Amino acid sequence: MEPNFEFERAAYAQGFHRVAGVDEVGRGPLAGPVTAAAVVLDPACIPDGLNDSKQLSIKTREFLAEQLMAHAAVSVAHASVEEIEQHNILQASHIAMRRALAGLPDAPDYVLIDGSMQPHGLNMRALPVPKGDTRCLSISAASIVAKIARDKLMVDLAQQHPGYGWKTNMGYGSKSHISALQNLGPTPHHRRTFKPVHNILYQDKNVKS
């Protein structure tokens, strides 16, 4: 089943005027921030082919992201590795979501959120939508924008920290990334509370002591 505009139509029918979709990417990687995007689609100009970013090719994601930047209200925000360590990954993803919503040029009055939880501190009506990136067009759009933004950031970080394969693994725990962690050690962009990174640090500490 492809995503549709029914959640947005229901919100408009209730009298809301600016309906945003929100999604995050990057909860699972061992390195890099968690990234969220908020998108308010123009009902009269919705790009064809919107879907969960994981279901799309790189070229399709890039094309759709360009269309969204041209025809929708878009905001991207991050929560840093330090914030992930301080708050945990779930809370950090909610921080990124709130920041993305706050960055929209005009504040939405209704939010469709990917997942089953609503971030604390939202000052607007919101509806969590489980598997929303496959069901709701606004959330699909947000998933695409967030994925493109975070991938670009990880490619940039890969140039600063060669050897970890971030250009292709985007910070996820691939075999080559784990091997590089063991051989090169962690960078400031690694999430030290995540088990594979923590274990390597703990092993190093034991060896040195």
Residues 173 and 109 in one domain: no
Amino acid at 118: Q
Q: From residue 121, give the alpha-carbon distance in Å to each of 84, 91, 147.
A: 18, 11, 24
By residue range, what is the domain housing residue 173?
166-208
Residues 71 and 140 in one domain: yes
SS3 93: helix
Residues 150 and 183 in one domain: no
pLDDT of 176-198, one tens digit each?
A: 999 999 999 999 999 999 998 99
pLDDT of 75-92, one tens digit each?
A: 999 999 999 999 999 999
Domain annotation covers residue 112: yes
Provide the domain count of the chain.
Answer: 2
Residues 151 and 190 in one domain: no
The CATH code of the domain that includes 26 is 3.30.420.10
Contacts of 13 (CB under 8 A, 6+ apart): none
pTM beyond 0.75: yes
Angstrom distance (rounded) from CA 138 to CA 143:
9
Residues 202 and 132 in one domain: no
Domain annotation covers residue 1: no
